[in-house]
Amino acid sequence: MSAERPADSVLRAMTDDGAFRVVITRTTDTVQRVLQAQQAWGDNGRYLGELVTGAAIVRETMAPKHRVQGLFQTRDGRGRLVADADPGGGNRGLLTRTDGLEDVVLEGGVLEMMRTLYTGEIHRGVVSIPEGGGISEALMGYMASSEQVASMIAVACVLEEQTVKAAGGYIVQLLPEVGRGPLAVMTERLRDFERIDRLITDRDGAPGPLLDELLYGMPFTRLDESPLRFECRCSAVRVVGALASLGREQLQELVDAQEVIEMGCDYCGAQYAVPPNQLKGLLEQS
């Protein structure tokens, strides 16, 4: 009998000496849904899958009760990747291209990470993709420069045509009260885990085995684990709310046209229809 396939989740742990916090994610099914919705495969899909995974890790590490967004833009501004991680465990992603662009190129692009602070303000950090690097290296640069947190990060998305074989990642974070010596030791130890493609594919992305590999021989305690999933924030209520924000003159034009307004969600492809009588109600309320 085959083993039960693991579900997407985020697993948290801490070494017993208090030096390191570890967060590991499996995002295989979530990323599959994202890439299907965006019809993003090849390098475009791989980069988007890595960014979705990275946003989930940053949210869980820095703002578990708040929303985190990651936005990558190519050097020429013609391509953009967006990852949106919700505190409830929902995740979504977006690929946009203009002027006939087919393939997103990371080199020369910039990554912006945004997270909500406890005050309600938005914290933004912008880093360039390092030469020869990718999403993992950019995320490490963001954590070091914008969050002032020493971290080792690796994210991966392994594709086989239009199937996500595995997606996931980890962050190993040096806790503030610990000196830099342990980080140097851990950095050397994790050189074998800079690329985790094969490791997560062999284990179907399950967080537990990856945690055991990362901290092999080091006493640690598993803290908790919670589910991750693909989930869009769109809804009929949000669509109506967007229309309600239009000026009275624009609403009147829509009412006079007596046509059903059809709107689609760029993230998940859901379609919404707003009939003329509902538009008239919005106009009367404005």
Give the model confidence (pLDDT) of 110-157 as tens digits: 999 999 877 778 889 999 998 889 999 999 999 999 888 888 999 999
Q: Are residues 95 and 197 in the same domain?
A: yes
Domain limits at 262? 236-285
In total, how many domains does the chain have?
Answer: 2
Q: Which amino acid is at 231?
A: E
Tracing tokens 């013609």 back to the chain, one arrives at: 78
Contacts of 105 (CB under 8 A, 6+ apart): 74, 75, 79
Percent of the chain residues past pLDDT 70, beyond the cut:
99
Instruction: Indicate which CATH number applies to the domain containing 280.
Output: 3.90.1280.10
Q: State the pLDDT at residue 240.
A: 84
Helix runs in the chain, H state only = 28-38, 42-62, 135-145, 180-189, 197-202, 207-214, 236-244, 248-257, 276-285
Q: Of the residues 186, 209, 230, which one is the last residue of a structural domain? A: 230
User: pLDDT digits over 179-237, tens only?
Assistant: 777 777 888 888 888 889 999 998 888 999 999 999 988 899 999 999 999 999 999 88
d(C-alpha 54, C-alpha 161), whole Å = 22
Run of H or E including 169: strand 163-174
pTM of the model: 0.91
Q: What is the pLDDT of residue 79?
A: 95
